[in-house]
């Protein structure tokens, strides 16, 4: 799958993040390569979201995050697409899906209406993610799965070099999850961006990821997916009692159980 | 100079509002002040409500206690020191909020009490200041000077220009900060600049409706508009319309009922909120 020479690589070197007195991440070294799907797994509070925020430049960090682009593929800063785990916005906000698209694509204020260009690009990309019918719906009334598609459409609109997905299937039911992941692999194979995916769901990871980074405040292990998801590594990350259980229609894989009682709660702002 | 700038506006108002209450010059000034301040406050109020910053706006409003006191102490126009101090407090809150793990409302709460305490301490030490403060506490729209009118006109232009450039980006930050950042939005700079613009609006609008009610002028029209609007376009223009209509109705009613102008304006805006809330309830059933 992996092309022999990479169009671009995101190199993370000796990265550490402190918030107040506590060290959330330390000694992180990893390469996120073009065209690969890298999964970031680890228990609640492991610093997965924080690592994404550091890549986005939203939390201060020490160490280096370098973006290396092969000369023949242009230059400049990488375009990073980001799909957050959940939108902590006001569900009653008077905002339609088209408003949300126009906010990020047109220069003059959305209060003067939507530009023809922003409407056209919204229609195109929504059709691509199979969500064309949502364009006039209020953002706050969408289901978890619909909202994920909208966010993914926006993240894909500007042809990102790197796509960061934080728990893309949390808040989506199991069938929606399978559809979303299959759709994501299809888009990914067409576009060839590098995909960094935070997931609790090891079925998603084992089906779709080329590489896995196991994280618990530092890197426990990283490498090819098949070699990394061993009982020893899982125990090192999640503590003893962690195991894979079969779950729903996905063959030979499943959700990880044996974490804290809060289950899928993610480390917001850790 | 001031006179010559405003005269054409006053004569135009004579034609547009041929009502008894709009005849005296002080009423013309009050109406014009409201036409400058209300749309600026409502326009800033739309992203403010989106950001859930009503408490922030209230804290800036109450910083006017200290701002006015400093002005009187230094012998400069209290409007100047009120605006300057309001901007300082807005900047300080935003800075501290970004560097602490405390929740935003805790940070604002600390500043809120500090600026009121400081203002009361200064005022109580200076005999005669209390009477001066009344006009700021309840607002004094009917005594607005022409210099203040010009200042309010400039505020409307400034807020309009700022929102023209920044509205989209600010609304995007309100949905999700990290997401906005990934879209190339300069989050920190916009947070600080928006806080300063809110401070400018709040401290200027205090002249119209007073410290106690100033947040209402920003929040209530935007909240009422939310009840009936489905998208950003209608929410924004409905908020502006509700603010302007409440402003004019409030001034007229206060003239005939002899009530405090600022309070009457806010009551009309609140009535709009109640009506739109009922409409929303009816449309659901």
Q: Mind giving me the DSSP string for B235-251? A: HHHHHHHHHHHHHHHHH
Measured between CA atoms, the residue of chain A closest to residue B163 is A109
Average pLDDT over residues B117-142: 81
Q: For A114-160, write each residue's pLDDT tens digit.
A: 999 999 999 998 888 888 899 999 988 888 888 888 888 888 888 88
Q: Which pLDDT band holds residue A267 (cuts at 50, 70, 90)? A: very low
- Residue A104, classed as helix, strand or coil, is helix
| A263 has a pLDDT exceeding 60 | no
| A268 has a pLDDT exceeding 50 | no
Query: Could you tell me if A60 and A24 are in contact, meaning their C-beta atoms sit under 8 angstroms apart?
Result: no
Average pLDDT over residues B79-89: 91
* Cβ separation A155–B237 shorter than 8 A: no
Q: Pick the residue with more confidence: B20 or B271?
A: B271
**Counting beta carbons within 10 angstroms of the beta carbon of residue B107, is it exposed (0 to 12), middle (13 to 18) or buried (19 or more)?**
buried
Whole-structure pTM value = 0.83
Q: Which pLDDT band holds residue A172 (cuts at 50, 70, 90)? A: low
Q: Which residues of A touch B187 (CB under 8 A)?
A: 58
DSSP A15: E
Q: Tell me, what's the pLDDT at B257?
A: 95
Q: Tell me, what's the pLDDT at A173?
A: 65
Share of chain A above pLDDT 90, in %: 14
| A5 has a pLDDT exceeding 70 | no
Give me the interface pTM, i.e. the ipTM.
0.84
Q: Tell me, what's the pLDDT at A242?
A: 58
Q: Tell me, what's the pLDDT at B35?
A: 94
Q: What is the dihedral of CA A188, A192, A194, A200, to 10 degrees?
A: 20
* Cβ separation A90–B52 shorter than 8 A: yes
Average pLDDT over residues A190-210: 82
* Cβ separation B176–A109 shorter than 8 A: no
Average pLDDT over residues B175-179: 84
Residue in the block written with tokens 């009653």 = A92
Q: What distance in Å separates residue A243's CA from the closest CA in chain B? A: 33
Q: Tell me, what's the pLDDT at B21?
A: 84
Q: Tell me, what's the pLDDT at A154?
A: 87
- Whether A76 and chain B come into contact, CB under 8 Å, resolves to no
| B216 has a pLDDT exceeding 80 | yes
Q: Which pLDDT band holds residue B181 (cuts at 50, 70, 90)? A: confident
Measured between CA atoms, the residue of chain B closest to residue A159 is B183
Cα(A256)–Cα(A200) distance, rounded to whole angstroms? 7
Q: Tell me, what's the pLDDT at B220?
A: 96
Q: Which two tokens stand for residue B63?
A: 């910083």
Radius of gyration of chain B (CA): 19
Q: Rounded to 5 degrees, what angle do the CA atoms A119, A125, A126 make?
A: 85
Q: Which residues of B touch A90 (CB under 8 A)?
A: 50, 52, 174
| A27 has a pLDDT exceeding 50 | yes
Chain A, 246 to 265: residues with Cβ < 8 Å from chain B are: none
- Whether A118 and chain B come into contact, CB under 8 Å, resolves to no
- Whether A94 and chain B come into contact, CB under 8 Å, resolves to yes
Average pLDDT over residues A7-21: 84
Share of chain A above pLDDT 70, in %: 80
Q: Tell me, what's the pLDDT at B109?
A: 93
Average pLDDT over residues B26-47: 94
Mean pLDDT for all residues in chain A: 78
Pairing relationship of beta strands A62-69 and A8-19 according to DSSP bridges: antiparallel
Cα(A149)–Cα(A155) distance, rounded to whole angstroms? 10
Q: Which pLDDT band holds residue A230 (cuts at 50, 70, 90)? A: confident
| A266 has a pLDDT exceeding 50 | no
| B240 has a pLDDT exceeding 90 | yes
DSSP A83: E
Q: Which pLDDT band holds residue A221 (cuts at 50, 70, 90)? A: confident
A75-89, A175-189, B271-285: range with highest mean pLDDT: B271-285
Cα(B43)–Cα(B240) distance, rounded to whole angstroms? 6
Q: Which pLDDT band holds residue B183 (cuts at 50, 70, 90)? A: confident
Q: Which pLDDT band holds residue B70 (cuts at 50, 70, 90)? A: confident
Least confident of B13-22, B40-49, B141-150: B13-22
Cα(A183)–Cα(A180) distance, rounded to whole angstroms? 5
Query: Could you tell me if B141 and B251 are in contact, meaning their C-beta atoms sit under 8 angstroms apart?
Result: yes
């Amino acid at each position: 799958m992996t092309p022999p020479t990479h169009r671009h690589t995101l190199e993370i070197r000796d990265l550490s993040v402190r918030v107040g007195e506590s060290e959330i991440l330390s000694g992180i070294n990893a390469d996120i390569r073009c065209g690969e799907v890298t999964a970031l797994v680890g228990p609640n509070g492991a610093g997965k979201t924080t690592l994404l925020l550091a890549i986005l430049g939203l939390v201060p960090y020490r160490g280096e995050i370098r973006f290396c682009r092969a000369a023949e593929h242009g230059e400049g800063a990488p375009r990073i697409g980001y799909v957050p785990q959940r939108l902590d916005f006001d569900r009653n906000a008077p905002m339609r899906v088209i408003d949300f698209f126009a906010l990020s694509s047109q220069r003059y204020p959305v209060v003067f209406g939507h530009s023809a260009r922003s409407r056209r690009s919204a229609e195109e990309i929504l059709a691509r993610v199979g969500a064309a019918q949502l364009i006039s719906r209020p953002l706050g009334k969408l289901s978890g799965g619909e909202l994920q598609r909208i966010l993914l459409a926006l993240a894909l609109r500007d042809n990102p070099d790197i796509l960061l997905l934080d728990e893309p299937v949390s808040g989506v039911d199991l069938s929606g999850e399978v559809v979303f992941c299959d759709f994501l692999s299809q888009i990914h194979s067409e576009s060839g961006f590098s995909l960094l995916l935070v997931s609790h769901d090891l079925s998603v990871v084992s089906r779709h990821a080329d590489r896995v980074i196991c994280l618990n405040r530092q890197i426990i292990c990283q490498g090819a997916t098949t070699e990394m998801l061993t009982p020893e590594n899982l125990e090192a990350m999640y503590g003893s009692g962690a195991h894979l259980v079969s779950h729903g229609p996905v063959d030979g894989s499943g959700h990880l159980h044996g974490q804290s009682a809060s289950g899928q709660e993610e480390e917001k702002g850790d | 100079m001031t006179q010559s700038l405003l005269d054409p506006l006053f004569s135009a108002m004579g034609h547009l509002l041929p009502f008894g209450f709009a005849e005296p010059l002080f009423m013309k000034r009050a109406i014009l002040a409201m036409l400058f301040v209300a749309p600026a406050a409502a326009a800033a109020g739309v992203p403010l409500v989106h950001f859930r910053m009503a408490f922030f706006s209230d804290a800036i409003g109450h910083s006017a206690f200290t701002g006015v006191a400093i002005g009187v102490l230094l012998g400069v126009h209290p409007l100047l020191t009120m605006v300057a101090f309001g901007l300082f407090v807005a900047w300080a809150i935003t800075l501290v909020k970004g560097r602490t793990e405390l929740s935003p409302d805790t940070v604002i709460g600390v500043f809120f009490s500090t600026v009121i305490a400081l203002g009361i301490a200064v005022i109580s030490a200076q005999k005669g200041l209390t009477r001066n403060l009344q006009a700021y506490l309840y607002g004094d729209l009917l005594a607005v000077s022409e210099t203040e009118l010009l200042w309010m006109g400039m505020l409307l232009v400034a807020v309009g220009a700022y929102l023209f450039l920044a509205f989209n980006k600010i609304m995007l930050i309100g949905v999700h900060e990290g997401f906005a950042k990934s879209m190339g939005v300069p989050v920190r700079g916009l947070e600080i600049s928006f806080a300063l613009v809110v401070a400018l609006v709040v401290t200027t609008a205090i002249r119209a409706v007073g410290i106690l009610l100033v947040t209402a002028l920003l929040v209530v029209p935007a909240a009422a508009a939310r009840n009936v609007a489905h998208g950003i376009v209608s929410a924004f223009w409905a908020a502006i319309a509700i603010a302007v209509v409440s402003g004019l109705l409030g001034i007229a009613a206060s003239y005939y009922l002899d009530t405090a102008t600022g309070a009457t304006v806010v009551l009309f805006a609140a009535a709009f909120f109640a009506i739109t809330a009922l409409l929303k309830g009816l449309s659901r059933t």
